[in-house]
Structure 1
Amino acid sequence: MKVEIWSDVVCPWCYIGKRRFESALRDFEHADDVEVVWRSFELDPTTETVHEKADGPGDAHLRRLSAKFGRPVEEVAPMVAHVDETAAAEGLEFHQDVSVPANTVKAHQLLHLAAERGVQDAVKERLLRAHFTEGEPVGDEETLVRLVAQAGLDAEEARAVLTEDRYLAAVRADVAEARALGARGVPFFVVDRTYGISGAQPTEQFAQVLRRAWAESHPLTLVGETSADACGPDGCAI
């Protein structure tokens, strides 16, 4: 069974959704037969990357969100706090007060490389943690090379991919496909190209879809006579 997940590495609900999906998958009896593929989605392709970490905690993140949504900082702050609290309930440590803006197209290119090298989930996790917990500038090339090397990619190959924009077309194709599938935001989960799940749904919702998709793709075929010796609610055959 194949699960494709469209998300961005600067999307808080994508990180939360990742944890909830992983919790459902961990308890799924056929987990070893599930292939997970991370697809690219850029929340804001126009974002300009900040190339250095923040000097320290502050309200810059709140002010950026305030400007983006046209709402006072006093209204935005509780929203951010709610996200942080939700993340904590899933075992995640968010420090959005040190996060910096990042254009993520280069990060997505490296995730395509990671898929080919068999370390995509490790790279995805490393980039999410770098942005939300450590305040790393995940749009900066040298920072990205350092981070993905920690997650199992070859640093020189990663640097070459960014220099050549080797997977740029693949990133654009992922974004276009998300729109074609009806994604209005991320995270967006597609199970066996049959079920779509929008948003960081509760763990049980993911578990239900995994069970349903597995049952439909692996139907049980009965063999032999249906009247063979057996016992049922009305007694046993004699």
Structure 2
Amino acid sequence: MSMRIDVWSDVVCPWCFIGKRRLERALAWFEHADEVEVVYHSFLLDPDAPQEPVESVAESLGRKYGGGPEAGRRMVEQVSSVAAEEGLDFRLAEAQRASTVDAHRLLHLALAEHGPAVQRALKEELLAAYFLRAENPASTEVLLGAARAAGVDENRAREVLASDEHREAVFGDVDRAADLGASGVPFFVLDERYAVSGAQPVEVFAQALGQAWAAGHPALQQVGGPSDDAAVCGPEGCTP
């Protein structure tokens, strides 16, 4: 019996990339890691982001929270320093604000037609494109490149991007996140029993993995307990 981890995240969420790495580190230590399946779900941090970028992330943050682009760059630098501790060399200051709906539609395609392993590979490619190479997350060519690298059928990816396919599933994920009380991401649900909110330390993920596994795989409970009066047979024979 395997254990499933459902993850709500966005491909332009820095803490989602950091949280992904921390979960992966915890899984590397987990003795039942081969029996754990990770599935990604859509969350839109910026539902109103344009299809064509008109400003950088730093400019967007400075406009939203005040202080202009320089203040936005300081915010970006803070999270980038944390990412560096996880081996991630962010170029977030150069990244552009753009829609991620199409990226999520491809993630649904990957899961539906190729399975969780290919979906995870595509998630990694999309995160790397945005954070490590500062590429436009709404660009058709960027999305197709990520799909090819992850093993998604390119013709199907083109068909999806040229249509509204999987759009309803994306917003269904968003609604489900709200039902679960997830107001931010990353948000992890382990075996539908335990929730972990945010890019928690590796130790927290390790604890959650252990608790969820134990809850789903309870130890055998012996009824009655050991007794000298119990009639049993063993290698040395049977009790009278």
Task: State whether TM-score is above 0.5.
Answer: yes
Equivalences for 1:48-59 in 2 at 5 Å? Answer: 48-50=50-52
Q: Any conservation in 1 of the 2:7–2:187 contact (CA below 8 Å)?
A: yes
Shift, 1:181, TM fit: 0.2
1:110 aligns with 2:109: no
| In 2: Cα distance, 1:130 partner to 1:188 partner | 22
User: What SS does structure 1 have at the residue aligned with 2:162?
Assistant: helix
2:22 to 20, 23, 28: 20
Across the aligned residues of Structure 1 and Structure 2, the Cα RMSD in angstroms comes to 1.9
1:175 alignment counterpart: 174
For normalisation by structure 1, the TM-score amounts to: 0.88
How many Å separate the matches in 2 of 1:75 and 1:100?
Answer: 16
> Does 2:65 match 1:63?
no
* Partners of 1:9 and 1:131 within 8 A in 2: yes
Alignment of 1:71-86 (within 5 A): 71-86=67-82
**Letter in structure 1 aligned against 2:74:** P
8 Å Cα contact 2:73/2:93 also seen in 1: no
Over residues 33-76 of structure 1, what are the superposed CA-to-partner deviations in whole Å (9 max), with x where a residue is unaligned?
11100000011111013369x9xxxxx43222100223444443
- Structure 2: how far apart are the matches of 1:171 and 1:204? 31
- 1:75-103 CA distance string (max 9 Å, x none): 43332211111001001110112211220
Unaligned 5+ runs, structure 1: 55-59, 230-238
Q: Deviations over 1:120-175 (max 9, x none)?
A: 01000000000011111111223211221111111111010122221011111100
Match of 1:120 in 2: 119
Measure how far apart 1:224 and its partner are: 7.7
Shifted more, 77-86 versus 67-76: the winner is: 67-76
Instruction: Give the residue type in structure 2 aligned to 1:94.
Output: F
Contact 1:136 1:143 in 2 (8 A): yes
Amino acid at match of 2:107: L
Question: Which residue is 1:235 aligned to?
Answer: none
Query: 2:36 is matched with which residue?
Result: 34
The aligned amino acid for 1:137 is: N
TM-score by length of 2: 0.87
1:149 equivalent in alignment to 2:148: yes
AA aligned opposite 2:108: H
**Aligned twin of 1:163:** 162
Q: Which amino acid aligns with 2:218?
A: P
Deviation of 1:193 after TM superposition, in Å, equals 1.2
Partner of 2:9: 7
Preserved CA contact (<8 Å) 2:57 2:72: no
Identity of aligned residues (%): 48
| CA distance in 2: counterparts of 1:48 and 1:65, whole angstroms | 15
